[in-house]
Amino acid sequence: MFAWIGLLNGCRNFSNAVRVGNRFTREEFRHRLQKQNLKDSQNKTDKTFEFKTKDEIPVRPVKDLYKCLGFTLGTSALAFTTAIVVDLERSKRNIRNYLFSSNREKPSKPFFQKIGLTNNTVIALIGMNIGVFALWKVPALKTFMWRYFTNSFASKSLCVPMLTSVFSHSSAIHLALNMYVATTFVGIVVEKFLGHEQFWSFFVAGGVFSSLTSLAHKAVTRNPIRALGASGAIIATLAYTCMRIPDAKLSIVFVPGFEFSAQSALWGMIAFDLAGLIFRFRMFDHAAHLGGALFGIFYSTIGQDYIWIYYGELIEKQWTKISP
């Protein structure tokens, strides 16, 4: 009997000890976990977001999109007007050189003239993007770059980054991929369709318009995320090319033997970005991509006639009145 009582008491004491031990272990573990989470949160705030919080504000009201629209129209008008005037002056200079220097020994051309305007354009585009990428690597400029070279509807700077973010990449892979696509299509567009000046105005306007569509999507969804990169402007260039050469054959890098028409590629790209918006994919800025594609389609169908030709004629008349 005493043996059973002693065994029972021993079992109860062991059970109580286990309960006490379990309670102590859980409480201690919970306490340590909370302490570690608090420490991680503080470290994250101190190290990762210390330069972001200086610029980050609550998502702006939707009515601020009027400012973005005004900046888009103003920047595009300025870009095309400047391009038209520069193109006129270049044409005048070429005519004068032809008339007055045809019988003289022509001076040697500078290096960048020898390699041609097409290559100049590609080199300038890549150089600008690499230059901005280098600025991202300067620790002292982090706050500045975050404010003025990322496109967000929750930033103190709203309009200027709509343009500057088009030339901004903080990732080497992102930069390399965009520049690879740019070198594939920019040369064709400059040489066959737009020329040097018109391309730059098109690229700037397409980039700013893609930033506008990105901000519009962020305003509606109340999304504070930031975006950057030349993807919107490059997709505008790609869409323009696909519309002008719809039967051209394209392929995917590292997938040999798989070809498709340029027009099919364009519609497939638009469908993918629409799906990205509907299902809220977060890998790409699908709204910016759609904006770039729509701008490229618009400019290839009616935009080039109305902007570069009809508007260009108005600018030419006014410019000839004031220029010597």
The tens digit of pLDDT for each residue in 209-228 reads: 999 999 999 999 999 999 99
Give Cα 69 to chain centroid, integer Å. Answer: 17
The contacts of residue 153 (CB under 8 Å, 6+ apart) are 59, 60, 64, 215, 218, 219, 223, 224
Q: How confident is the model at residue 282 (pLDDT cuts 50, 70, 90)?
A: confident
Residue 217 lies in a domain: yes
Residue 245 lies in a domain: yes
Task: State the pLDDT at residue 184.
Answer: 86
Residue 10 lies in a domain: no
What is the C-alpha to C-alpha distance for residues 299 and 259, in angstroms, rounded to an integer? 26
Give 88 or 56, the one with higher predicted confidence: 88
Task: State the pLDDT at residue 202.
Answer: 97
Task: State the pLDDT at residue 100.
Answer: 66
Task: State the pLDDT at residue 179.
Answer: 93
Residue 27 lies in a domain: no
- Where in the sequence is the domain holding 77, given as residue range(s)? 52-102+113-322
What is the C-alpha to C-alpha distance for residues 152 and 214, in angstroms, rounded to an integer? 8
Beta strands 249-252 and 255-261, pairing class: antiparallel
Residue 42 lies in a domain: no
Q: Which residues are catalytically annotated? A: 231, 289
- For residue 155, list its beta bridge partners: 56
> Comparing 110-124, 218-232, 243-257, 274-288, which segment has the lowest mean pLDDT?
110-124
Count of other CB atoms within 10 angstroms of residue 225 = 14
Rounded average pLDDT over 284-306: 95
Q: How confident is the model at residue 42 (pLDDT cuts 50, 70, 90)?
A: very low
CATH number at residue 263: 1.20.1540.10
- Residues 297 and 239: beta-carbon distance below 8 Å: yes
Task: State the pLDDT at residue 89.
Answer: 86
pTM given for the model: 0.78
Look at residue 263 and tell me whether its pLDDT is greater than 90.
Answer: no
Rounded average pLDDT over 58-70: 94
- Residues 287 and 214: beta-carbon distance below 8 Å: yes
Q: What value does the mean pLDDT of the chain take?
A: 80
Rounded average pLDDT over 187-216: 94
Percent of the chain with pLDDT over 70: 74
DSSP E strand boundaries for the chain: 249-252, 255-261
Residue 211 lies in a domain: yes
Q: Pull the structure tokens for residue 174.
A: 């992102």
Q: How confident is the model at residue 99 (pLDDT cuts 50, 70, 90)?
A: low
Burial level of 256, CB count in 10 A (0-12/13-18/19+)? exposed
Q: How confident is the model at residue 45 (pLDDT cuts 50, 70, 90)?
A: very low
Number of domains in the chain: 1
Residue 26 lies in a domain: no
> Comparing 3-17, 131-145, 250-264, 286-300, which segment has the lowest mean pLDDT?
3-17
Kindly calculate the radius of gyration of the chain based on its CA atoms and give it in whole angstroms.
Answer: 29
Residue 160 lies in a domain: yes
